[in-house]
Structure 1
Amino acid sequence: MLHLSYCTNVHPAEDLAGILAQFDTYAVAVRRELAADVLGLGLWLPAPAAAELAADAGLRRRLRRELDVRGLEVVTLNGFPHRAFHAPVVKHAVYHPDWTSRQRLTYTLDLARVLADLLPDGAARGSVSTLPLAWRLPWDHARADAARRHLDELARGLDDLAAATGRPVRVGFEPEPGCVVENTAQAAALLSGIDTRWLGVCLDLAHLAVAWEEPAAALDRLRAAGLPVVKVQLSAALEAADPAAAAEALRAYVEPRFLHQTRSSLGVAADDLDQALGERLPGPWRVHYHVPLHAAPAAPLTSTMPLLRAAVRELLAGPEPACDHFDVETYTWDVLPPEQRPRDAAALARGIAAELAVARSLLPAEVSR
C-alpha cells in the first residue's frame, strides 16, 4: 500500500504540547478540507520531544491515541532538522549535529523507537528521513570514518528494534545540494556498503531538480547501486529560465531563515539565493526553495512541477512501486513573498489540503490518505 502524508515541519513546535496543538489547529482542518477519513502526517519531532517519547512507553501510547481520535496516522518521520527549525535564522544550523556526531545517531534511533509504536496496524514498515551525512565542509577521512561507524550502529539498532517490536523502520539519507551527498551519483558512491535492509535514500524531488538530475537516470543509478528509495518527498523548487530578467522577482524570495542553494544548468553554484543574485550566475537557475505544489510562482518564475510529475511516473512505472511513502514537504509557507503567505491558520490548512489534492492526483486511487 502507498501512503501519502504532509510534513509537519511546516509548523513550529518544540515540545509535545505544541505538537498536539498542531493536530487540532492544522491537521484536523486539512483532513476535513479533503473530506478524508484518515490523514497521513509526516511528523517532525524535535530532539527533546523525541527523547521524551522514546523514554516513556506511556507517552507513546498517548500520542498514538491522540492521533487515532483525530483520524490521523503516521508512517514516516522527518528526522532532518534536529531542533529549532523555526528559529529566526536556521541556514547552516539545520545540518548540525551531523552523522559524525553521536547526537545524530541517538536522535534517529529515538525517532525509530517512537515510530514503531505509532505505525498503524496496516503499515508494512515505517521510514525516517535524515540529512545526507553532513554539510560538505569540513569533510575528511576521519569524519567519513566516524559517520560510517554511526551508520553501522544505526543499522544494528534498527535491526534490534524490528526484532523486539515486529515493526520494521528504515532510514533514508536525503541528498541535498551543498551537502556531502548532493545527488544520486554521490549517494551511489558514498553510501555503498551500507546495510540496505535498514538504510537507503530519501528522494526529495526539489533537491533532485536543483541538482539538475533527470528522474529516470537518477532512479537507474540508485537501482544499480542497490540503494532502496525509502521515502519520497513531494516538493517543487523555484526555477528561473532567465535570472537576469527575473532578478526583481527572485529578490522577493530572499529571506533570512532558510538556506536557498542555487544551481545553474551550466554547473555553476551558489550556496544561497542572495549570493547567486550578487554574483549574477549564468542561467537558467533552479533554487532550493520549496514552493507550493498547487500554485505556480508569478511570472517570469516557474516551478519544477513538471520534473516532480515525471519523477512520480518513474517511481510508479515498474511492476511494483519503487517507494511506498510519499510526503508533501513544503516547509516555506511563512517565508514566501508576503502576498503569497497564508493570512491565518485556516488559510494555511486550505493551502496544504490543495497541495495534497495535487499529490493525490498523481498517485493510484488506492493510496492510503
Structure 2
Amino acid sequence: MRLNHNIHLGYCTNIHRGETWEETWNGLKNYTLRVKDRVSDGKPYGIGLRLSEQAARELSAPGKIDEFKAWLDANNSYVFTINGFPYGAFHGTRVKEHVFKPDWSTQERLDYTNLLFDILAQLLPPGVSGSVSTLPGSHKTFNVGSEELNAIFTNLRLCREHIEKVATKSGRDLHLGMEPEPLGLFETSGETLKFFGLYLDRHPQDRDFFKFIGLNYDTCHLAIEFEDAKKALDRITGAGIRLSKLHFSSALKVKPTPENVERLRGFNEPVYFHQVIASYGADEPLRRFKDLPDALDFAQTNPDQLGEEWRVHFHIPIHAQPGGGFDSTRDHLIGAMDWLAANPTKCQHIEMETYTWEVLPAEMRSGDVVDQLVKEYEWTLGEMTQRQLCS
C-alpha cells in the first residue's frame, strides 16, 4: 500500500510455501488476498513477492505475466518489490547455508536476478519504482578468495548493466538491494562500506553503480550485530549507498542465564540458519556462532563464558514481545522508523518479513498466519502514523 512520501509497504510472501509458480500464486489467492481485505481499506494493495528461480521461469512462459497482471488489476493489487535472496526451496527442508547458494560468484545467481528484473518491469504500475533484494555476495564460510570476489564484482557490474537496460527500455526506476546478514560476506555497516568501496576500487568509472545497486537494510540483521539504527543508516546513506528497501523484522534478545539457554532449545529447528552473536560488554569483542546449535553446545561446555547478552537470528512477529525471560530487537526496528521519519525520501520500499511462521513455537503464533500478518500490519501502521509516515 502507498503511504505518505510515496513510501510503499507490504509483507514478504516468503512466509508462505511456494517453489513453483502455481504454488506461489495459490499462496497469494489463499492468504495474501485475505490479509489485503482486512488491512487495505479498499486502497491499492502492495505485494512483496517472493519468486524462486523455478517460479520465475514458469511465470516467464508466454501469457503468464499478462494473466498475473490481469489478476492483480482485478484484485486492486500491485507488486513493487521481489525477494530474490532464496534461489530454491525455502520451506519444509534444510535451508540454512543453502539459502546463500548459488552465490554472486556464479552465472546462475546473475541469470536469476536479471530474470527477476525482467519480470518486475512488466508488473510495476505507472509511477512506482521496483526493487529486488538479494544476498550479501556470499557467505563467510564459503572460502571467498580474490578469484571469487572478482567474480562477484564482475557479476554485479553485469547485473547493473542489465538493470539499466531494462530501466531505460521500460521507463522504470529499478534497483537491487544487497542484504547484510550475520556471517554473510558483509554483515555490519562497516563491512558494507568496505564491500562497496572495494567494488569501486575495481570499477572506478562505474559512477552510476549506486543508482541501480544499493542496500536492503534488514532491521533484525543489523540489530543482531549490536548496531544503532540511526548511526548505521546515516553511515550507509552518507557514503552514497542507495537504500533500496527496508526490511522490518525483529529477532530474539536473550540474557544467557541457564534458564534462558535451556528455553532457547525450543527455537532450535532444522530448517533455517539462526546465527547467534554474544556481547561481553562495550569494550569487548563480540563472539559469533554460525548457528544456534553451536551456541548451545558452547553454553554446555563453557557455562561461565556466555557473556552479557545473546542476539539470535530467529525472526519473531514484529507486533509481539516473546516474554518468559526473552526480549526482542524491536527497539532497533523502532529506531529505523524514527530515522525514516527524519529522512522520509531516503527509502520508498518497506517490507515486513517474518518468514518463520511454520517453525515458530506454538505460544508465539497469533491465530493463523493471516491473523499474524494482520497484527503486524496494525502494529506497523500504528507506529508509522505516530511518525506521520502514513495517515
Q: Deviations over 1:126-154 (max 9, x none)?
A: 00000000011211100000000000000
The question of 1:284 aligning with 2:305 is answered no
Contact 1:45–1:78 (CA under 8 A) maintained in structure 2: yes
Match of 2:291 in 1: 272
Partners of 1:23 and 1:36 lie apart in 2 by 18
The question of 1:340 aligning with 2:351 is answered no
Letter in structure 1 aligned against 2:137? L
Partners of 2:134 and 2:20 lie apart in 1 by 20
Q: 1:226 aligns with which of 222, 240, 252?
A: 240
Partners of 2:78 and 2:380 lie apart in 1 by 17
Contact 1:215–1:311 (CA under 8 A) maintained in structure 2: yes
Deviates more, 1:289-298 or 1:64-73: 64-73
Letter in structure 2 aligned against 1:337? P
Partners of 2:258 and 2:47 lie apart in 1 by 39
Q: Deviations over 1:177-235 (max 9, x none)?
A: 01111111111111122700100000000001001111111112112321111000000
Letter in structure 2 aligned against 1:311? A
Partners of 1:303 and 1:87 lie apart in 2 by 25
Q: 2:104 aligns with which of 74, 99, 122?
A: 99
Q: Secondary structure at 2:144's aligned position in 1? A: coil
- State the shift of 1:120 in Å: 1.9
Superposed, 1:152-301 pairs within 5 Å as 152-192=157-197, 193=200, 195-266=209-280, 267-280=286-299, 281-301=306-326
- State the shift of 1:4 in Å: 0.3
- State the shift of 1:119 in Å: 1.0
The question of 1:126 aligning with 2:130 is answered yes
The question of 1:360 aligning with 2:381 is answered yes
Q: 1:325 aligns with which of 323, 345, 349?
A: 349
Letter in structure 1 aligned against 2:53? A
Q: 1:40 aligns with which of 46, 56, 60?
A: 46
Q: Deviations over 1:50-83 (max 9, x none)?
A: 1233454x21121111122223221000000001
- State the shift of 1:98 in Å: 0.3
Identity of aligned residues (%): 34
C-alpha spacing 1:363/1:160, structure 2 compared with 1 (3 Å): same
- State the shift of 1:87 in Å: 3.6
Match of 2:283 in 1: none
- State the shift of 1:283 in Å: 3.1
Point out where structure 1 has 5 or more consecutive residues left out of the alignment: none
Q: Secondary structure at 1:252's aligned position in 2? A: helix
TM-score normalised by structure 2 residue count: 0.89
Contact 1:334–1:341 (CA under 8 A) maintained in structure 2: no
Q: Secondary structure at 1:196's aligned position in 2? A: helix
Give the alignment's Cα RMSD to 1 decimal: 1.7
Point out where structure 2 has 5 or more consecutive residues left out of the alignment: 1-5, 201-205, 281-285, 300-305
The question of 1:151 aligning with 2:156 is answered yes
Deviates more, 1:196-205 or 1:267-276: 267-276
Superposed, 1:70-85 pairs within 5 Å as 70-85=75-90
C-alpha spacing 1:4/1:35, structure 2 compared with 1 (3 Å): closer
